[in-house]
Structure 1
Amino acid sequence: MLRIQDVTKQFRVGAFGGKSVTAVQNVSFEVAPGEVVSLIGESGSGKSTIGRLILGLSPATSGSITFDGLPVKSGKEYYRRIQGIFQDPFSSFNPVFKADRVFGMIKEAYFPAVPGPEWSERVEQSLRDVRLNPGQVLGKYPHQLSGGQLQRLLIARALLLDIKLLVADEITSMLDASTRIDVLNLLAELKSRGLGVLYITHDLSLGNYLAERTVVLRRGSVVEMGLTELVFGDPLHPYTRELLSAVPRLHEPWDDAATVDTCLYHERGASGGLLEAEPGHLVACAQLETC
């Protein structure tokens, strides 16, 4: 479905754009129908940049991004198949309009011929699909709703388009723990219906909970990827080990000074092709113990 091949993104910087910064470098991975792929890494690793490239909000400097074999192309028809939901749900709503205006905009752009009563039924059904009571959210202003309700409104908007891929960029980071689980369970339910999800997060525990496959980014490059149980159960790259060692564990002392194996390849920030260390598990350096 979605294929990212050797994608690099550079930004011009400086007073006259005479210099460039590489935010993403030679990144390749795929997302299949009905699959959740977790894209993890620390802040500044390039996760959100990749999300913007997939959504056509920014062009790639080199490489290719295709969906169902066709190049990414921003526009109405493309966004009918792919939608994005971002970290701050409040920024996706105009505070002077009621929250359900997002559904009116969808109707105007994609379903102008649908009669009003039929459209209202579709909207109410999409809200029930994301476990919202239409009577409690329709007609409310954004400030009258919680962050979790607003996120689910955005997911309901995407469902109205019958999308094939959802780019979920840190969508639970501003939610409390109970609401966070509700949203994650909702994504898992949508996955069972065939929706592909790229779940962008810096929270390893949530990525482990939801995704079949995991892609680990460091400084814009993929350092490890594969089946989630392999990446989390037997991390091969020192950076992945470092991320996992930094996750606090309940009922255990947290040793923030824990030592992690080092690797010259890792320390120098080198980039190159991924090597298959075992079936379904790729890493940026195949000889961690000897290099």
Structure 2
Amino acid sequence: MLRLDDVTKEFRIGAFGGKTVAAVRSVSFDVVPGEVVSLIGESGSGKSTIGRMILGLNSVTSGAITFDGRPVRGAKEYYRHVQGIFQDPFSSFNPVFKADRVFAMIKQSYYPAVPEQEWAERVRSALRDVRLNPDQVLGKYPHQLSGGQLQRLLIARALLLDIKLLVADEITSMLDASTRIDVLNLLAELKTRGLGVLYITHDLSLGNYLAERTVVLRKGGVVEMGLTDKVFGDPLHPYTRELLSAVPRLHEEWGDAAAVDTCLYHERGAAEGLLEAEPGHFVACAQLESC
């Protein structure tokens, strides 16, 4: 469905834009229907830039992003199948309009011929699908609703389209713990319907909870990638180990990341790109800056 092939994104910097900095470096992975892929890394690792390129909000400097075999161009028909939800749900709503205006905009853009009564029932059905009571949210202004309710409204908006892929960028970071789990369980339920989800987060525990596969980013490049139980259960890159060692554990003291004395990448004779250390489990050079 979605595929990134050797994608790089550079931004111009400096007073006259004479220099460039690479925010994303040669990234490749895919997302298939009915799968959640977790994109994990610290702030500044390039996660959100990748999400914005997939959504057509940033251009690609080199490489290619394709959806169902076609280049991503951010056209209207593309957004019928691909939608994004971002960290701050309040920023997605105009505070002077009632929250359900987002549904009216979908009708105006994609379903102008649908009768009003039929559309109203579709909206109510989509709201029930995301476990919202239509009578409690329709007709309300954004400030009258919680962050969790607004995030679910945005998911319901996506469901009204023929959506195949959802880019979820830090969508739970501003929610309280109980609401966070509700939203994650909703995403897990939606993937059973065939929806593919790219879940962008810096929270490893949430990524582990939700995703079948995990991609770990560092400084714009992929350092480890594979099935989530492999990446979390047997992390091969020191950066992944460092991230996992920083996750708080009840009744345990925090430990330091394990030191890596040798570079598995070069021990296995890899020349470039990612090394497949075991089937479906890929790792980058552990000493990239010094090798």
Is the TM value for this pair above 0.5?
yes
Q: Does 1:162 align with 2:158?
A: no
Aligned position for 2:224: 224
Change (3 A) 1:233 1:287: farther
Shift of 1:285: 2.9
User: Are the counterparts in 2 of residues 275 and 286 from structure 1 also a CA contact under 8 Å?
Assistant: no
Change (3 A) 1:181 1:46: same
Shift of 1:75: 1.8
Size of the aligned set, in residue pairs, is 283
What is the CA deviation profile of residues 4-32 of structure 1, one whole-angstrom value per residue up to 9, with x for unaligned ones? 00000000011110011100000000000
What is the CA deviation profile of residues 208-267 of structure 1, one whole-angstrom value per residue up to 9, with x for unaligned ones? 000000000000000000000000000000000000001110111224xx143246879x
Aligned position for 1:87: 87
Structure-1 separation of matches of 2:146 and 2:162: 25
What is the CA deviation profile of residues 264-284 of structure 1, one whole-angstrom value per residue up to 9, with x for unaligned ones? 879xxxx94001000110000
Structure-2 separation of matches of 1:137 and 1:264: 57
User: Are the counterparts in 1 of residues 263 and 287 from structure 2 also a CA contact under 8 Å?
Assistant: no
The residue type equivalent to 2:119 in the other structure is W
Aligned position for 2:268: none
User: Are the counterparts in 1 of residues 81 and 162 from structure 2 also a CA contact under 8 Å?
Assistant: yes
User: Are the counterparts in 1 of residues 42 and 218 from structure 2 also a CA contact under 8 Å?
Assistant: yes
Structure-2 separation of matches of 1:189 and 1:24: 31
Aligned position for 2:129: 129
The residue type equivalent to 1:88 in the other structure is D
Aligned position for 2:267: none
Aligned position for 2:258: 260
Change (3 A) 1:265 1:11: farther
What is the CA deviation profile of residues 53-82 of structure 1, one whole-angstrom value per residue up to 9, with x for unaligned ones? 000001100000000000001121010000
Structure-2 separation of matches of 1:286 and 1:217: 13
Aligned position for 1:56: 56
User: Are the counterparts in 2 of residues 81 and 162 from structure 1 also a CA contact under 8 Å?
Assistant: yes
Structure-1 separation of matches of 2:52 and 2:287: 33
Deviates more, 1:72-81 or 1:126-135: 72-81
Aligned position for 1:14: 14
Structure-2 separation of matches of 1:263 and 1:61: 36
User: Are the counterparts in 2 of residues 238 and 263 from structure 1 also a CA contact under 8 Å?
Assistant: no
Aligned position for 1:104: 104
Give the 5 Å matches for 1:112-191: 112-191=112-191
Structure-1 separation of matches of 2:282 and 2:188: 25
Structure-2 separation of matches of 1:127 and 1:193: 16
User: Are the counterparts in 2 of residues 216 and 225 from structure 1 also a CA contact under 8 Å?
Assistant: yes
Q: Does 1:243 align with 2:246?
A: no
Change (3 A) 1:286 1:11: closer
Aligned position for 2:35: 35
Structure-1 separation of matches of 2:263 and 2:99: 49
Change (3 A) 1:263 1:62: farther
Structure-2 separation of matches of 1:171 and 1:18: 35
* SS of aligned partner of 2:250: coil
Aligned position for 2:44: 44
Aligned position for 1:76: 76
Aligned position for 2:3: 3
The residue type equivalent to 1:36 in the other structure is V
Structure-2 separation of matches of 1:113 and 1:101: 18
What is the CA deviation profile of residues 163-195 of structure 1, one whole-angstrom value per residue up to 9, with x for unaligned ones? 000000000000000000000000000000000
Normalised to the residue count of structure 2, the TM-score between the two structures is 0.94
- Unmatched 5+ residue regions in structure 1? none
* SS of aligned partner of 2:162: coil
The residue type equivalent to 1:71 in the other structure is P
